[in-house]
Amino acid sequence: SSEVLEAIENVIQDVFESLSKKQAPVLTVTRRSDWRNIEFKDSVGLQMVPYCTTKQIRSDCPRSATKFALMLKILSMIYKMVQSNTYATKRDIYYSDTQLFGNQSVVDNIINDISCMLKIPRRSLHILSTTKGFVAGNLSYTEEDGTKVNCTCGATAVTVPSNVQGIKNLNSHAKFILIVEKDATFQRLLDDDFCIKLSPCIMITGRGIPDLNTRLLVRKLWDTFQIPVFTLMDADPHGIEIMCIYKYGSVSMSFEAHHLTVPSVKWLGLLPSDLKRLNICKDVLIPLTKQDQNKLASIQKRPYIACQPMWKKEACTNLLFLLEIMAASKMKAEIQALTSLSSDYLSRVYLPNKLQFGGWL
């Protein structure tokens, strides 16, 4: 807490010193989404380089004056919360003055800029994310307020905690962790009792692009239990992108990579090569868009692909295969395509075989 308060006080002191010199105060923030500021390290993933290019949020510039004021406003809110040991979600901050902030994305962006500027993780700023992820399986833990949570696999899952840092007494006999891209697939595996039929496991879904809490939980489980972590994604560029976020991190949050990435994540499926191997019928595929092609081309140029030759082979297979399918029928594949083989093929055949015979990358 003292570290956070001191960091904010230093920022405000700089503002006062500028004013005392009759100079316009500025806030200097890192260009978080600039690939020139990002490097790849195999043990961490995407991380910021020591000396990044920055931009100034000036108080005397019409284009940035509003953001300057909003950053000071949110800094003051953080300061009060840390002093009083209270917490708020990003949504709470937005709704504290919706007319002032305009929209939620403005608040989200400023909070990330502040976290990066202060070099302090967002959760230490007493700002919590609204959770959208679910967890189920062989796992129990105690939340910060003493609530005991049992994620025993059943018809329903447990919401990922909003304060992952505060959970303790984690207990599990799971043999592996399975990250599932989509909520529908996650629920189907729950209905099929997948968590207990094959072997004890923990299942997590971020319901698409994962929120911060889901990524934090995956990392905490991996740190705690040191068991294999697999991903089950669609065989399309969007699925590959999501898998890479868990494994290597994202550009915008690269300043927190050490707390968010799990470099040992394995790509279990759905692999592009599986589509041919299993003779998936073209009738169950869906359209491949121009956006998909651009996304895949972007992924292939990223630094972590060059360090993973087998991944690059699969990515190339994905590109060539999907382009081939597109030329013939303008289609691509999702996990649900496996139901064309049988309704329970995913949980009864596909995943058990993959896990038993090592069919991952």
94 counts as catalytic: no
Rounded distance, CA 267 to CA 139, Å?
22
277, HSE (Cβ side, Cα atoms, 13 Å): 10
Task: Catalytic residue, from 87, 95, 345, 350: name it.
Answer: 95
Contact (Cβ atoms closer than 8 angstroms) between residue 160 and residue 314? no
- How many beta carbons lie within 10 A of that of residue 220, not counting itself? 17
How many DSSP H helices and E strands does the chain contain? 16, 15
Sign of CA dihedral 261, 264, 269, 274: positive
Pairing mode of beta strands 134-137, 127-128: unpaired
125-208-284 Cα angle (round to 5)? 175
* DSSP letter for each residue of 285-345: -BPPPHHHHHHHHHHHTSHHHHT-HHHHHHHHHHHHHHHHHHHHH--B--GGGGGGT-TTH
Cα 274 to Cα 58, 201, 244, distances in angstroms: 53, 23, 19
Q: What is the DSSP letter of 22?
A: T
Residue type at position 117: M
What residues are labeled active site? 95
